[in-house]
A and B are shown apart, each in its own frame.
Chain A
Amino acid sequence: MLTSLHIEGNSWLHRLPVRAKLLALVALSILLFLSGSVLVQLTAFVISGGLYISVGLSWREALKRVGFVFFTIFFLAAVNLFLLPLSEVAVLTLRLMALVLFAAAVTATTTIGAFMDEITVLLTPFERLGWVRAADVSLALGLVLRFVPDILARYQAIREAHRARGLPVRPLTIIGPLIILTLKDADTIAAAIDARGFRRQ
């Protein structure tokens, strides 16, 4: 249910450290937004597309991952055709597609663990200021992954309860009980975390 979008592989992007990939993504965004040349955008699109294809996704999966975002891009491009000159529409559309493909390639080649290590590093300055603790972020992330299946099971139970009573399954009558039942566990979970001294305070 909560499987990462990362895929196993040994492509060039897989071997690159996560920091380099993220910096490249930022640099690419800045470069493409500063440039108004169709040629630059097209080159970036071809390279990003090539990288995305090379990470080892099946065509079907590759298309599925960017399909929805591409749909919005094409829709807006179609609207733009009526309002802007053709060359400008080409620049805008190619730029977005290049960035989306590159971002999707970074996501596909980076593990959650690698991202988390990078986030810990990025949080260091805030940690020094005492705003946030990297350990808390990891703990919260772990809690989410731990409780999503439980909450989904609870949602299904509430839905079944509706059906058993012949009630229509409506978001309104489900969301209230789902949230109350879930959040009521907070005290117990917090007590369990503190009892184990996970946060050392």
Chain B
Amino acid sequence: MNTRDLVLIALFAAIVVVLGLIPPITLGFIPVPITAQSMGVMLAGCILGAKRGAFAFLLFLLLVAIGLPVLSGGRGGLAVFAGPSGGFILGWVVATFVTGLIAQRFVREGQPEVRQFVGFFLASIVGGIVVLYAIGMPWISAVTGTPLLTVATGSLAFLPGDLLKAAIATLAARAVFAGYPLLPVRA
């Protein structure tokens, strides 16, 4: 890994920290407020690719673990890993990696714009939603004893917000891809 990749990883982890400081948006038709930080997984994967994106989130989790309140709402410390949502937080690394893998596979320079949008959207949904929930929901079920089906039903409340996040992340990632492409130069 060269120094530039190291710096990109650190800068992206810092961006994720800043996304947590932005006040969450509440939309009338979605029950849960949307935090910009939870878009970080999709953005990191689509912009930095699998390896650097996953490292950026590992670094971010390291900040959380050593006691910096960098999660949205000023949360942090080892307590968040011990809580029921610990699986979602640890799952971010894997989810970013998968998002990056799909983005790298399907998005290329010189493709028609629509194909790039589709590629990023697919990557955001599979990595940032499917993979993340596949790790987070069984975790909740395991530590709290709530049956998996109940957890899954409850999680449906977050789905509209997550789809909206995937859409925003897709547009933002495509804007970055057009303005400052990093995905083709892989670490």
A positions within 8 Å CB-CB of B: 1-6, 25, 29, 65-66, 68-69, 72-73, 76-77, 79-80, 83-84, 88-89, 92, 96, 99-104, 106-108, 110, 112, 115-116, 119, 136-137, 139-141, 143-144, 147-148, 151-152, 155, 171-172, 175-176, 178-180, 182-187, 189-190, 193-194, 199
Is B65 on the interface with A (CB-CB < 8 A)?
yes
The docked-state distance in angstroms from the alpha carbon of A107 to that of B65 is 8
A69 touches B8 (CB 8 A): no
B positions within 8 Å CB-CB of A: 1-4, 6-15, 17-19, 21-22, 25, 36, 39, 43, 47, 59, 62-63, 65-70, 73, 75-85, 140, 143-147, 150, 154, 168, 171-172, 175-176, 179-180, 182
With a cutoff of 8 Å between Cβ atoms, the chain A residues found around residue B144 in the complex are 73, 76-77, 80, 92, 96
With a cutoff of 8 Å between Cβ atoms, the chain A residues found around residue B68 in the complex are 2, 4-5, 112
With a cutoff of 8 Å between Cβ atoms, the chain B residues found around residue A199 in the complex are 3, 6
Quote the shortest CB–CB distance from B89 to chain A (angstroms).
11
B21 CB contact (under 8 Å) in A88, A108, A152, A190:
A152
A193 touches B3 (CB 8 A): yes
A175 CB contact (under 8 Å) in B13, B36, B70:
B36
The docked-state distance in angstroms from the alpha carbon of A2 to that of B4 is 25
Given that A2-B68, A83-B150, A141-B63 are known contacts, is A190 also in contact with B176, CB under 8 Å in the complex? Answer: no
B77 touches A183 (CB 8 A): no
The docked-state distance in angstroms from the alpha carbon of A183 to that of B47 is 10
- By beta carbon, the residue of chain A nearest B48 is A183
The docked-state distance in angstroms from the alpha carbon of A147 to that of B11 is 7
Quote the shortest CB–CB distance from B10 to chain A (angstroms).
4
Q: Please name 5 pairs of A and B residues whose Cβ atoms are closer than 8 Å in the assembled complex, sorted by A.
A: A4-B66, A104-B77, A119-B66, A148-B18, A175-B39
Quote the shortest CB–CB distance from A78 to chain B (angstroms).
10
With a cutoff of 8 Å between Cβ atoms, the chain A residues found around residue B12 in the complex are 183
With a cutoff of 8 Å between Cβ atoms, the chain B residues found around residue A189 in the complex are 7, 11
The docked-state distance in angstroms from the alpha carbon of A175 to that of B47 is 12
A112 touches B15 (CB 8 A): no
With a cutoff of 8 Å between Cβ atoms, the chain A residues found around residue B140 in the complex are 76
With a cutoff of 8 Å between Cβ atoms, the chain B residues found around residue A65 in the complex are 75, 77, 79
B63 CB contact (under 8 Å) in A139, A144, A194:
A144
B82 touches A99 (CB 8 A): yes
Given that A5-B67, A143-B7, A190-B7 are known contacts, is A73 also in contact with B14, CB under 8 Å in the complex? Answer: no
**Extra A-B contacts (8), CB below 8 Å, given A147-B11, A175-B172:** A65-B79, A107-B67, A107-B79, A115-B65, A140-B10, A144-B14, A148-B17, A179-B47
The docked-state distance in angstroms from the alpha carbon of A21 to that of B69 is 20
With a cutoff of 8 Å between Cβ atoms, the chain B residues found around residue A147 in the complex are 10-11, 14
